[in-house]
Amino acid sequence: MSKIATEFGITEALKALGIEEINNGTSTGADWFSNGEIIESYSPVDGQLIGKVKATTREDYEKVITTASAGFKEWRTMPAPQRGEIVRKFNDELRRLKEPLGKLVSYEMGKSYQEGLGEVQEMIDICDFAVGLSRQLHGLTMHSERPGHRMYEQYHPLGVVGIISAFNFPVAVWSWNTALAWVCGDACVWKGSEKTPLTAVACQNIAARVFEENNVPAGISCLITGDYTVGEFMTKDERVPLISATGSTRMGKIVAKEVAGRLGKTLLELGGNNAIIVTPDANIKNTVIGAVFGAVGTCGQRCTSTRRLIVHEDVYDKVKTAMVDAYKQLRIGNPLDQNNHVGPLIDKDAVKNYQQALEKVVAEGGNILVEGGVLEGEGYESGCYVKPAIAEAKNEFEIVQHETFAPVLYLLKYSGSVENAIEVQNGVRQGLSSAIMTNNLREAELFLSTQGSDCGIANVNIGTSGAEIGGAFGGEKETGGGRESGSDAWKVYMRRQTNTINYTTELPLAQGIKFDL
């Protein structure tokens, strides 16, 4: 282990999470097995090898899906509140292991340790939500038009749920899906990101141990590991009725087409191009706090990261100066050191995309306000540390229309009414998160109205990033339209059934139709 790993207790964290030097990357909960190529996990923090896993082969996958399908048939018969009790026990283990799991998230992905702990806290919160939900999987009762009949709707478990998650939230998004799917009675097969395989192994270790101790059938929590070809095992498999996929819009379009071709269901959480509108009535101090964290948190690698700051001309210079001054105060370095604000990008490919975005905005006529660049020297040996940058630009620039998964913020000026700013905000293909900074009630309400933001998330006087699990999370347009986490998102993991019961001695037909024999 490296100096940083030793100093910040990564070795102890791996041990607490049951991760060995080489840990197979396929599991049905009952045992670990893999016969594919070795995948090495390097930390973007210091460039050091953390551990290795083996990829899932086609034969491995068949064992997983067979076990999951068999386990589902037993799991679905357990009353939902009892399934909720199993999730509660899983949650107890997350609370006990919050610190080591948070450290591993930080070290393997590169986000700050506080964000790593926050991600595990999201897992804890969604489990709390799911436990309560296990007693509220309600349907509807309605009046029949036929006398002596009763009608109602109910929800049944869907089956095996396939989950494809991204590197930037290597554990939280999985838990959003599994906690709800488990209490709904589904089995889950998870393909974590090949860029963060060890956090997935850690989560599967926790779930498998809890399930085994409580005599839960094997296969309710399964893990498969590998690149997109492993994900294709699930997207093409008719035995998996729902695919929940988080990642790029490009990936989502491929998944949607494949699953739709077999008439399966998808839950898609894809790209974001999120903006904050700043009106003349905004609190500038709060605006800067929200915009800076939204733009540089997780080194700009959140789907809800702030990409565009749309500022009214009357306060443009004031906001610009405040943002430039704030960026001068950012500390970039080892994310396990809580004195630092910004950690590394995930890998060298991400660095290349960051550099290309800055070159592109200049080529299109933009003006760099805060210079970017790759950091070198002591503490930056991984080559993944970059400077958060700000560029003055226009919304119609091609690079601004795309999501750059890096800390690049585009400063855009608008004039006139807030309607003009909303038009700019909506003028991209993505529709995940949005925000407005204003103390003007009319502007705030207009932003939240049918004439306002076209995003799945619209905030007033807070930034675009950060979401509470009580609300449904997701977006519109090229963000995919899916909803995860709270509210009634649980319904996607179940199949709806309408029931009619005739308790008379006659058989009247609907709509008054007569059919006498």
E-strand stretches of 218-349: 221-224, 242-246, 265-269, 274-278, 306-312
- Residue-wise pLDDT for 445-492, tens only, equals 999 999 999 999 999 999 999 889 999 999 999 999 999 999 999 999
Beta-carbon contacts of 3 under 8 Å, excluding residues fewer than 6 positions away, are 46
Q: Note whether 55 and 34 are within 8 A (CB).
A: yes
Beta-carbon contacts of 57 under 8 Å, excluding residues fewer than 6 positions away, are 34, 35, 36
CA angle 477, 482, 483 (to 5 degrees): 130
Nearest to 352 by CA among 392, 383, 306: 383
Burial-class residue 443 by CB neighbours within 10 Å (0-12, 13-18, 19+): buried
Q: Measured between alpha carbons, how far is 172 from 516 in angstroms, rounded to an integer?
A: 59
Q: Measured between alpha carbons, how far is 12 from 8 in angstroms, rounded to an integer?
A: 9
pLDDT in the model for residue 192: 97
Pull the structure tokens for residue 212: 């085994």
Domains of the chain: 3-270+480-496 (3.40.605.10), 274-472 (3.40.309.10)
| 390 beta partners | 370, 409
At residue 433, φ and ψ (nearest 5 deg) are -125, 150
Whether 93 is catalytic is no
Q: Measured between alpha carbons, how far is 416 from 327 in angstroms, rounded to an integer?
A: 28
The amino acid that residue 330 corresponds to is L
pLDDT in the model for residue 508: 85
pLDDT in the model for residue 467: 83
Q: What is the DSSP string of 88-105?
A: HHHHHHHHHTHHHHHHHH
Place of tokens 């956090």: 199
Other residues' Cβ atoms within 10 Å of the Cβ of residue 326: 17
Q: Measured between alpha carbons, how far is 190 from 164 in angstroms, rounded to an integer?
A: 6
> What is the three-state SS of 389-431?
EEEECCCCCHHHHCCCCCCEEEEEEECCCHHHHHHHHHCCCEE
Nearest to 347 by CA among 294, 295, 301, 389: 301
Per-residue pLDDT for the chain (517 aa), expressed as one digit of tens each?
688 889 999 999 999 999 988 999 999 998 999 999 999 999 999 999 999 999 999 999 999 999 999 999 999 999 999 999 999 999 999 999 999 999 999 999 999 999 999 999 999 999 999 999 999 999 999 999 999 999 999 999 999 999 999 999 999 999 999 999 999 999 999 999 999 999 999 999 999 999 999 999 999 999 999 999 999 999 999 999 999 999 999 999 999 999 999 999 999 999 999 999 999 999 999 999 999 999 999 999 999 999 999 999 999 999 999 999 999 999 999 999 999 999 999 999 999 999 999 999 999 999 999 999 999 999 999 999 999 999 999 999 999 999 999 999 999 999 999 999 999 999 999 999 999 999 999 999 999 999 999 999 999 999 999 889 999 999 999 999 999 999 999 999 999 999 999 999 999 888 888 887 7
What letter does residue 325 receive in the DSSP assignment? H
Q: Measured between alpha carbons, how far is 225 from 218 in angstroms, rounded to an integer?
A: 18
| 162 beta partners | 189, 243
| Continuous segment of H or E residues that includes residue 435 | strand 433-437
| DSSP strand pairing (140-143 vs 149-157) | antiparallel
Q: Which of 122, 269, 403, 443 is catalytic?
A: 269
Q: Measured between alpha carbons, how far is 497 from 139 in angstroms, rounded to an integer?
A: 9
pLDDT in the model for residue 39: 97
pLDDT in the model for residue 1: 67
Q: Is the overall model pTM greater than 0.85, yes or no? A: yes
Pull the structure tokens for residue 342: 């910004």
Q: Note whether 55 and 230 are within 8 A (CB).
A: yes
Show contacts of 507-513: CB within 8 Å, 24+ apart.
Answer: 508/146, 508/147, 508/148, 508/149, 509/146, 510/145, 510/146, 511/145
At residue 465, φ and ψ (nearest 5 deg) are -100, 155
